[in-house]
Amino acid sequence: MGDIENISKNPENQLKMLLFHRNPELNGRLETFVRMLEPANIVVITDPDFYEKKLVGEMATDHELIELNRKYYSNSYLYRSNPDDVARTEKDTYISSLDEKNAGATNNWMEPEHLKSRIFNLIKGSMKNKTMYIVPFILGPAGSKYSEAGIQITDNPYVVINLIKISLVGKEAINRIENTGKYVVAIHVTGTLDKNNRYIAHFTDEDLIISVNTAYGGNALLTKKGYALRIASVHARDNSRMAEHMMALEVTSPSGRKYGISGAFPSASGKTNLSMIRTPTDMAGWDAQLLSDDIIWMHINNDSLYAINPEYGFFGVAPGTNATTNPNAMKAFNRDTIFTNTALTTDGKPWWYSLDPSVSEVYDWHGNLTTDLKNAAHPNSRFTTPIKNYPYLSSKFYDNEGLKIDAMLFGGRRSDLIPLVRQAKSWAQGVLFGAMIRAETTAATTGKVGILRNDPMAMIPFCGYNIGDYFQHWLDMGKLVQHRPEIFYVNWFRKDSDGNFIWPGFSENFRVIEWIASRLDAKANAIETPVGLIPDIANFASGNLGKNKLEQLFEIDYPGWLKELNEIEPFFKKIGDSFPEELWREFHNMKDGVEKQ
């Protein structure tokens, strides 16, 4: 390693000599940023294990990372972020393509050169006295032609450590970039964390991302939402592929049949939990293995859709996770994990309310000793854990083609109206299901929690181009794929009149998967309604749930649906000309059906 650090005394020469010597164009881009940022030092992360240990050690010495009690959590640390930098900030997120139409009605836009000059003014000289880390990464299986590569520059060791945990970092990535000549450049500058001058900018015409004045995961780990969703959705549009905010898992039935199931739910609405689902005790023989907990990239293979996971780790929501709701997550994050903004017990364990309600006093996420337990962990506190720690990983994770997808789920938090599960009658109606997602907002992004907002395909914060064109792309993909996945809409969050969840959720969601599997096998019957096909509750295996509750879960309130459709219509209209005609037809079909009831 010594060689790299020595040569780094002359940063520009080092780049020429060491890094992308077969790729002068990339070297040129890097040199521009080296001159602009003026780092004191440059480190290239060629050996991720070595640098992870080194940086963790340095941050622990500086008390920026707090080592957790080794008796319960090995090689694991707590990090407290700046209190003004705890969630994604969508108002600062830009899709900057030369043509404003490419941002569409739902993304912030600024003319690329204008946005760049603003950002360049902010970041000029901002790495003086700091080390610049160059992090080369691969997204997806190392040998897959569907994988992509890039480099992230950052001045933040916390970001480097997290990147190493959630992407494939190191020499293989440099080789891939040199062999393919294809890469995305992502620049991250911690800056002053000034929330009034924060930018997460995606220059979608030139495969460039720049993020400044933030170090929060979703804003600063640019391999994740920035590249694997925003930039990759543009690549997917141009290559008949899909890049989706979806979990995916491989389900095996007692007879050994395999089902690939993916699901898009808005942030903090259950993807990670569903991807780690445990079989209920009375469903012996069923099994589920994880492909991805947050993002998949899909391509067509053998006339079917196949999914790979571009990530190598989890950046999961901590609150709500515990031995009952998600025991499998707990088997993964008890080692090699960075917890961000959770509380801390007095004996050095990470903590949030549902994890252990028996304690009486903890250090809150600011580090103050408190008995105010409900607010002690930040609601968007997270764990960063390498995926290889997860005990039930699908073998398809390492497969260059990935997992064949048989069913896709849409969903979101809805305390009323939306039934537990329903199936689309056709691909086009399924696309409408996705486009119609409205969900209660969560702490994953700054702003009010619990407000209904439109979040089609759970992609509103992540679609790198015009959302109307994105809907058209979904419709087109359905025409290109012969064996189209069936599309379903689920809602685990319907509440009764006392405000309690009617459906127990978590591992009980396996019963919905069972129904979906029997629909795929054309075994279960379904009842046709204007809003889709719903189970015949006489034959729906609902575990211990009483008939009365089941009826509440599947109740279709037509006046409520008409109101829903009327509230969604202005959002669709706002999208304008790019909103596909075919989708309007589906929408009006549904509305006519509902009106006739």
Which residues contact Mn ion by CB under 5 A?
267, 271-272, 294, 316
- Residue 501 in the binding site for ligand GTP (CB under 6 A): yes
| Residue (316 or 434) nearer to Mn ion, CB | 316
- Identify the residue among 271, 473, 484, 494 touching ligand GTP (CB under 6 A): 271
Choose among ligand GTP, Mn ion, none what residue 213 binds, the Cβ cut-off being 5 to 8 Å by kind: none
Q: Which stretch binds ligand GTP (CB under 6 A): 39-47, 57-65, 262-270, 370-378?
A: 262-270
Query: Which 3-state string (H, E, C) describes 22-61?
Result: CCHHHHHHHHHHHHHHCCCEEEECCCHHHHHHHHHHHHHH
Among 264, 67, 298, 45, residue whose Cα is nearest residue 169:
45
**Residues 307-346 contacting ligand GTP, CB under 6 A:** 316-317, 319-320, 325
CB of 509 to ligand GTP, least distance (A): 5
**One residue of 76, 154, 219, 269 binding ligand GTP per CB under 6 A:** 269
Residues 33-92 that bind ligand GTP (CB under 6 A): none
Q: Could you tell which of ligand GTP, Mn ion, none binds residue 325, using a CB distance below 5 to 8 A set by kind? A: ligand GTP
Strands 532-535 and 526-529: antiparallel
Smallest gap, in angstroms, from Cβ of residue 317 to ligand GTP? 3
Considering the complex, what minimum distance in angstroms separates the CB of residue 421 from ligand GTP? Answer: 12
Does 494 engage in binding with ligand GTP (CB under 6 A)? no
Tokens at 175, concatenated: 């080789």
**∠ Cα 180 181 184 (to 5°):** 110
3-state SS, residue 405: coil
b/e per residue 235-260 (b: at least 16 CB within 10 A) = bbbeeebbbbbbbbbbbbbeeeebbb
Q: Which is nearer to ligand GTP, 51 or 352 (CB)?
A: 352
Contact 576, 468 (CB under 8 A): yes
Longest dimension (CA), the chain: 76
Residue 501 contact, options Mn ion, ligand GTP, none, Cβ 5-8 Å cut-off depending on partner type: ligand GTP
Shortest reach from residue 589's CB to Mn ion, in Å: 31
Residues in 426-455 that interact with ligand GTP by CB under 6 A? 444
Query: Could you tell me which stretch among 231-239, 416-424, 504-512, 517-525 binds ligand GTP (CB under 6 A)?
Result: 504-512
Kindly state the DSSP code that residue 230 receives in the 8-state scheme.
I
Interface segment toward ligand GTP; rule CB under 6 A; list 116-124, 154-162, 263-271, 565-573: 263-271
Q: Which residues contact 563 (CB under 8 A, 6 or more apart)?
A: none
For residues 582 and 475, is the Cβ–Cβ distance under 8 A? yes
| Among positions 272, 341, 441, 542, the unique one binding ligand GTP when judged by CB under 6 A | 272
Q: Which residues does residue 289 pair with via DSSP β-bridges, in sequence order?
A: 250
Residue 571 neighbours by CB under 8 Å, 6+ apart: 454
Residues labelled catalytic: 269
Question: What DSSP line would sit under 429-481, residue for residue?
Answer: HHHHHHHT-EEE--TTBSS-SS-EEE-GGG-TTT-SS-HHHHHHHHHHHHHH-
Task: Name which of 178, 230, 181, 186 is nearest 208 in CA terms.
Answer: 186
Q: Which does 269 bind (CB under 5 to 8 A by kind): Mn ion, ligand GTP, none?
A: ligand GTP
Closer Cβ to Mn ion, 271 or 349, answer by number: 271
d(C-alpha 589, C-alpha 583), whole Å: 10
3-class state of residue 215 by DSSP: coil
Residue with tokens 């087109």: 476
Query: In this chain, which of 250, 294, 364, 514 binds ligand GTP, going by CB under 6 A?
Result: 294
Stretch that binds ligand GTP, among 39-47, 341-349, 398-406, 498-506 (CB under 6 A): 498-506
Residue 319's binding partner among Mn ion, ligand GTP, none (Cβ under 5 to 8 angstroms by kind) is ligand GTP
Shortest-Cβ-distance residue relative to Mn ion: 272
Q: Is 351 one of the binding residues for ligand GTP (CB under 6 A)? A: no
Report whether 102 contacts 466 (CB < 8 A): yes
Does 270 bind ligand GTP (CB under 6 A)? Our answer is yes
Work out whether 295 is an interface residue with ligand GTP (CB under 6 A). no
Residue 287 interaction partner, one of Mn ion, ligand GTP, none, beta carbon < 5-8 Å per kind: none
Bridge partner list, 383: 316, 339
In whole angstroms, give the CA distance from residue 227 to residue 400.
20
Nearer to Mn ion by Cβ, of 29 and 382: the residue is 382
- Residue 268 as a binder of ligand GTP (CB under 6 A): the answer is yes
- 294 vs 406 by CB, closer to Mn ion: 294
- Write out the residues near ligand GTP by the rule CB under 6 A: 265, 267-273, 294, 316-317, 319-320, 325, 444, 492-493, 501, 505-506, 509
